[in-house]
Amino acid sequence: MEFFSNLFGPTWPLVWTLAKIVAIVLPIMGCVAYLTLAERKVIGFMQVRLGPNRVTFFGIRWLGGLAQPIADALKLLTKEIIIPSGANKVLFLMAPVLSLMPALAAWAVIPFDPELVLANVDAGLLYVMAITSMGVYGVIIAGWASNSKYAFLGCLRSAAQIVSYEIAMGFALVGVLMMSHSLNLVEIVKQQQGGLGALSWNFIPLFPMFIVYLISGVAETNRAPFDVAEGESEIVAGFHVEYSGMAFAVFFLAEYANMILVSTLTAVMFLGGWLSPVPFLPDGFPWLVGKVGFVLFLFLWFRATFPRYRYDQIMRLGWKVFIPVTLVWLMVIGGWMQTPYWPWK
Amino acid sequence: MSFQLAVFYAFALILVFAALRVITARNPVHASLFLVLAFVTAAGLWMLLEAEFLAITLVLVYVGAVMVLFLFVVMMLDINIDRIREGYWEYLVPALVVAGTMLAEMTLLLVGRSLRLEGMPAPAAKAETYSNTKELGRLIYTQYVYAFEIASVILLVAIVAAIALTMRRRKDSKYQDPARQVVVRRADRVRIVAMKSEKPAAPAAPASEQAAP
């Protein structure tokens, strides 16, 4: 460490931060690649079939399917990016980047461990909300710049849906804020550390908000059953219908990176982050991985289980069910906290 | 030049450029995207002033919600770009008058002796535990509680009025009642009839089809 800091001189803080960013982004990209494989395998097993099982490393039989994401990436990299006639070229190429950027930038404040966080900022929760709210621009710009009816319909649906569900999500996070008295994500996890293990995590006092946040997370990431922005059966592929090759792959990356991000946020805010569920086992990073994996499995399970919502039903669920539920529960815990019968300290 | 000053000038340059492009861009969608850039850069400037709550809220509310709805509307407009340019020279003179007045007012405030801005000391550095959000929240709900509540009631009135003015329920529109939809049982929609399985009639001799290919 000393050697490197002498080597780079005054630019050392910059180099060190960049190294940390790479150390966070590269594993996320690996997770994204293998999440696509996990999704195909899990849904395959749920539908009593095998899923991808052919592509192996070096022809080793029992690794069947494990090289599938790498083969897919290579295929997409070598394909041509077709720019439709009449498309707005600059915005058309900028849109995938705009949708991937927030999915990666939000990781700056996610705590993996009490010490392991890139930027331990005070307004971490606000930062996450602000950054994730920018993700919709990728979808909107892609839909508009493609100069195509289906893409445009998809982008309008997505814009209305994401703005609606963000409100419910925001109210759910106000509940977390009331529990922890802090916007700092490290503090939010530390506050959930009671003597009771899993019983002192936020998901018990904030149970309705936990459910609302989980479902809104599925809606925010445009995943089934809320994937009307893509809607293969009605508007072909929605906002990314005109995209091919790597430009399409970046949208794909963004969707899966967003899934991992929302799962991690759920784990950090409602499921106790790196904390151990039982008091006699030590806390640590593996618990966070397990919780994120569980929430991700729920995402895949939802996709294999539920049929796609109709658009008016999505809007009704967001505005007329989730927002009132969160508002009422805010009142309930706000009042409950003032009484002496509040069991969480 | 310190690092913060360099960042300030970079952000200020981007902000001025983006704001200029908002009014000079020919395409309204481009103009609103430049407005987004201007908001994000302004948030960066506020962050430099250590007003992190305001900075992040600017991004959250204006970039994340207001501009999304704005783009939503602008994208659906079918605008002939040549027509927008028509009144350019007519509007130029009143616009210059307004801009000149604003410039004069700002100069009076910032350069004039009355406020003594140059003699103003920089605010003291805050302690490590200082939370901008907490302090703002405390002020809003204690010292300025009436002003805050009145402002929110005015906003609520505006929301209700906007909905009341624009909502027209068409008589012939069809809609579902979700409460009635969820109480439906299978017996209301489907009748299951018990019947014996039947053997399909033997197909007619397909002699002609075999001859066809």
Q: Average pLDDT of B20-46?
A: 88
Phi, psi angles (nearest 5°) of residue B174: -105, 135
Nearest to A260 by CA among A17, A42, A30: A30
Q: Is B65 in CB contact (< 8 Å) with chain A?
A: yes
Instruction: Answer yes or no: do A136 and B64 touch at CB < 8 A.
Output: yes
Q: Best interface-test mutation with B: which of A149, A157, A183 has the largest number of B CBs within 10 A? A: A183
Q: Which residue of B has its CA nearest to A90?
A: B30
Q: Best interface-test mutation with A: which of B7, B54, B60 has the largest number of A CBs within 10 A? A: B60
Give the pLDDT confidence score for residue B161 in this predicted structure. Answer: 94
Give the pLDDT confidence score for residue B86 in this predicted structure. Answer: 67
Confidence at B173, pLDDT banded by 50, 70, 90:
confident
- The region of weakest confidence among A72-86, B87-101, B148-162, B169-183 is B169-183
* Average pLDDT of chain B, as a whole number: 82
Q: Average pLDDT of B74-80?
A: 74
User: With helix as H, strand as E and coil as C, how does chain B read?
Assistant: CCHHHHHHHHHHHHHHHHHHHHHHCCCHHHHHHHHHHHHHHHHHHHHHCCCHHHHHHHHHHHHHHHHHHHHHHHHHCCCCHHHHCCCHHHHHHHHHHHHHHHHHHHHHHHHCCCCCHHHCCCCCCCCCCCCHHHHHHHHHHCCCHHHHHHHHHHHHHHHHHHHHHHCCCCCCCCCCCHHHHHCCCHHHHCCCCCCCCCCCCCCCCCHHHHHCC
Instruction: State the pTM of this model.
Output: 0.83
Nearest by CB to B64, from A127, A134, A183: name it.
Answer: A134
Instruction: Answer yes or no: do B132 and A162 touch at CB < 8 A.
Output: no
Counting residues of chain B whose pLDDT is more than 70, the rounded percentage is 84
Give the pLDDT confidence score for residue A328 in this predicted structure. Answer: 93
Q: Could you give the C-alpha distances from B132 to A176, B52, B53, B109, B196, in angstroms and in order? A: 18, 7, 6, 27, 77
Between these two residues, B103 and A57, which has the higher pLDDT value?
B103
> How many helices (DSSP H) and strands (DSSP E) are in chain A?
14, 0
What does the DSSP assignment read for A79-137? Answer: S--PPPTT--HHHHHHHHHHHHHHHHHGGGG--SSSS--S---TTHHHHHHHHHGGGHH
Residues in B closer than 8 angstroms to A183, CB to CB, are: 131, 133
Q: Which residues contact A282 (CB under 8 A, 6 or more apart)?
A: A276
Residue A333: enclosing H or E segment and its boundaries? Answer: helix A323-338
Phi, psi angles (nearest 5°) of residue B2: -75, 165
Cα(B75)–Cα(B70) distance, integer angstroms: 9
pLDDT, one tens digit for every residue, chain A (345 residues): 667 777 777 777 788 888 888 888 899 888 898 898 889 889 999 988 888 887 777 767 777 778 888 888 888 888 888 888 878 888 888 889 988 898 888 888 888 887 777 777 888 888 888 888 888 888 888 888 888 888 888 888 888 888 888 888 889 888 888 888 888 888 888 888 877 777 778 888 888 999 999 999 898 888 878 887 776 777 777 788 888 888 888 888 888 999 999 999 999 988 888 888 887 777 888 888 999 999 999 999 998 888 888 888 888 888 889 999 999 999 998 888 888 877 776
Residue A312: enclosing H or E segment and its boundaries? Answer: helix A311-316
Radius of gyration of chain A (CA): 21
Instruction: Answer yes or no: do A133 and B72 touch at CB < 8 A.
Output: no
**Tokens 């605008």 belong to residue:** B79
Nearest to A316 by CA among B65, B61, B179, B69: B179
Give the pLDDT confidence score for residue B213 in this predicted structure. Answer: 46
Cα(A52)–Cα(B32) distance, integer angstroms: 44
Confidence at B147, pLDDT banded by 50, 70, 90:
very high
Between these two residues, B37 and B25, which has the higher pLDDT value?
B37
Q: Average pLDDT of B115-131?
A: 69
Nearest to A63 by CA among A71, A54, A72: A54
Interior CA angle at B96 toward B91 and B100, to 5°?
155
ipTM entry: 0.81
Instruction: Answer yes or no: do A140 and B75 touch at CB < 8 A.
Output: yes
Give the pLDDT confidence score for residue B118 in this predicted structure. Answer: 64
Instruction: Answer yes or no: do A133 and B53 touch at CB < 8 A.
Output: no
Instruction: Name the CA dihedral angle for B62, B65, B67, B71, rounded to a multiple of 10 degrees.
Output: 180
